[in-house]
Amino acid sequence: MGRTEAEDLLGQLAPQVLGALVRRYGHFDTAEDAVQEALLAAATQWPAEGLPGNPRGWLITVSSRRLTDLLRSEQARQRREEAAARQIPPGEWLAPAADAPAAESDDTLILLFLCCHPALSPASQIALTLRAVGGLATVEIARAFLVPEATMTRRITRAKVQVADSGVPFRMPNGPDREQRLTVVLHVLYLIFTEGYAATSGPGLFRADLSAEAIRLTRIVRRLLPGDGEVAGLLALMLLTDARRPARTGPAGEVIPLDEQDRDRWDQAKIAEGVALITGALPRGDVGPYQLQAAIAAVHDEAPSSEATDWPQILALYELLLRISDNPVVALNHAVAVAMTHGPGAGLERLGRLETDRRIAGDHRLEAVRAHLLEMAGDHQAARVAYQAAARRTMNLPHQRYLNARAARLAGGQ
């Protein structure tokens, strides 16, 4: 999913074009197919023929014509059903006018709300967002999530049908519904970024292209909602976290933990942008979970060394975060902050409270943190067992190798 300049432009225009078609004609699922075909045509023609004077208008025109063709191809089979459902006389089927003037409004945010419809599962929300808003081909999305293309095709098709069947109008929701839907959108973007930054399975520690796509989409939301503190917080969190990526692995792809990373390799431009975003967002009013997580990431990134990290400040921020977020991963990270501030025994005591939480009890991260804290406490035998247990639980190969290496080092008395 590496993107050229032309692909970046197509990615930027894809949601605007789809939004324009859905607003004008409806038919979300068919319009999405039409836009994908127009994007493919542009990717083929533009490099050879040159960029059109109005790329957005070109895509809308080509998509509209393709939408007309797709609808007409279904006309014979669907005319009676459509006419009965819409109470339209059978002779009055109307296909869209392909050359109607293109609206100048940017409907990307409405489209994101549609793709993140609460009736869809998180997996379907992610897939549909990457396809419809990101403009990615199904094969690219399938590759990113390590599933067969046919599986991803079925997932996206079901999602489009569910959206079409929901009857949700293509317009910006109002009041509490808008806030609720925005929360879902931000969560989906966060999940896309997280899968890119810490791949749940596969041969690599991360998928940089997926993280980059999440950052790109979040920048779009930030442009459309410049005054929203949580949007700014999420973008800051992504930038501050992704800034460390160059130092997270060694020459052979091996994992390098945070406290051992070469901080000179961190991306200082992303850190500066992230710090500026969160600094500007925090004083505005109510503080949400993404802003607090971004603030924590900023403390890590601004520390000149691991030893100079302000752990008491991180602990205080995690305690604020725990008040508004019932998230076991937050509780796990809080236990680490407790250990780094008050000693490993205090951290292990906090960790014990998570053992009965089904949401994380079987997660490799719980055993990995336990192993780290036991190692800090000097109980190397118990730490080795915990590292081995964590290695068995993860499906990510670099993590497995790292955890097994830590266990082997303790077994060797090093």
For residue 249, list its beta bridge partners: 255
pLDDT at res. 55: 92
pLDDT at 76 over 80: no
Q: What tokens does 281 get?
A: 């967002």
Burial zone of 49 (CB within 10 Å; 0-12 exposed, 13-18 middle, 19+ buried): exposed
Q: Which residues pair with 202 in a beta bridge?
A: 396
**What is the DSSP pairing of strand 201-202 with strand 395-396?**
parallel
Q: Which one, of 60, 25, 67, 53, lies nearest residue 39 by Cα? A: 60
Per the structure block, which two tokens stand in for 207?
Answer: 């998928």
Closest CA to 70 of 101, 30, 115: 30
3-state helix, strand, coil in the chain (%, to 5): 70, 0, 25
Q: What is the mean pLDDT of residues 270-299?
A: 94
| Ramachandran area for residue 326 (φ above 0: left; ψ -120 to 50: alpha; else beta) | beta
Instruction: Read off the pLDDT band of 168 (50, 70, 90).
Output: confident
pLDDT at 74 (0 to 100)? 63
Q: What is the pLDDT of residue 85?
A: 53
Cα–Cα nearest to 134, from 103, 156, 112: 112
The arithmetic mean of pLDDT across residues 383-390, rounded, is 96
DSSP state of 129: I
Q: Answer yes or no: are the C-beta atoms of 393 and 367 closer than 8 Å.
A: yes
pLDDT of 94 strictly over 80: no
Q: Does 102 have pLDDT greater than 60? A: no
Output the pTM of the full model: 0.83
The 10s digit of each residue's pLDDT in 398-414 is: 999 999 999 999 986 65
- Provide the mean pLDDT of the chain: 87
Burial grade of 305 (CB within 10 A; 0-12, 13-18, 19 or more): exposed
Q: Which pLDDT does position 81 carry in this prediction?
A: 56
d(CA 87, CA 140): 40
* Average pLDDT value for residue range 251-272: 96
**Tokens 């000149």 -> residue:** 304
Q: Indicate the pLDDT class of residue 167, thresholds 50, 70 and 90.
A: confident
Burial category of 346 from C-beta neighbours within 10 Å (exposed 0-12, middle 13-18, buried 19 and up): middle
pLDDT tens by residue, 18-64 = 988 888 888 888 888 899 889 889 988 998 888 888 999 999 999 99
Q: In this predicted structure, what is the pLDDT of residue 4?
A: 67
Give me the architecture of the 322-414 domain, per CATH. Alpha Horseshoe (1.25)
* Alpha helices in 50-147, H assignment, sequence order: 55-73, 75-86, 108-115, 122-128, 138-144
Each residue of 339-384: pLDDT tens digit? Answer: 999 999 999 999 998 988 888 988 999 999 999 999 999 999 999 9
pLDDT at residue 99 greater than cutoff 70: no
| Residue range(s) of every CATH 1.25.40 domain in the chain | 322-414
More confident residue, 119 or 397: 397
Q: Which segments within 148-254 are labelled E, that is strand?
A: 201-202
H-helix or E-strand containing 377?
A: helix 364-377
